[in-house]
Amino acid sequence: MDKTKSPDFKIPELSTSRNENNTTRERIISTDSEERKSLGINKSTLWYQQKRLKKGKLVKLYKKTRSRIE
């Protein structure tokens, strides 16, 4: 067994794919409070996503939220 004085940490390559399309973006932006309640989406989740999209940034849609919006 080879002993070294310094640890060798290997960081794996990470890849992310964001597959939001324009219809999903428009749906998030146009969703109001009543529709949000009926879809079962938290107020803070929708607020955060709308804020990011209005600034032109990307949002991270988790599987649970994506299934409710689409």
pLDDT per position as a tens digit, 31-60: 999 999 999 999 999 999 999 999 999 888
In this structure, are residues 47 and 40 in contact, taking their beta carbons and an 8 Å threshold? no
Checking if the pLDDT of 30 tops 80, the result is yes
More reliable by pLDDT, 20 or 13 = 13
Checking if the pLDDT of 15 tops 70, the result is no
- Say how far apart CA 2 and CA 11 lie, in whole Å: 20
Classify burial at 45, counting beta carbons within 10 Å of its beta carbon; exposed 0-12, middle 13-18, buried 19 or more: middle
In this structure, are residues 68 and 40 in contact, taking their beta carbons and an 8 Å threshold? yes
Residues 13-29, mean pLDDT to the nearest whole number: 76
Residue 1 pLDDT class (50, 70, 90 cuts): low
Which two structure tokens, joined as six digits, stand for 19?
């597959």
Nearest to 66 by CA among 34, 14, 23, 2: 23
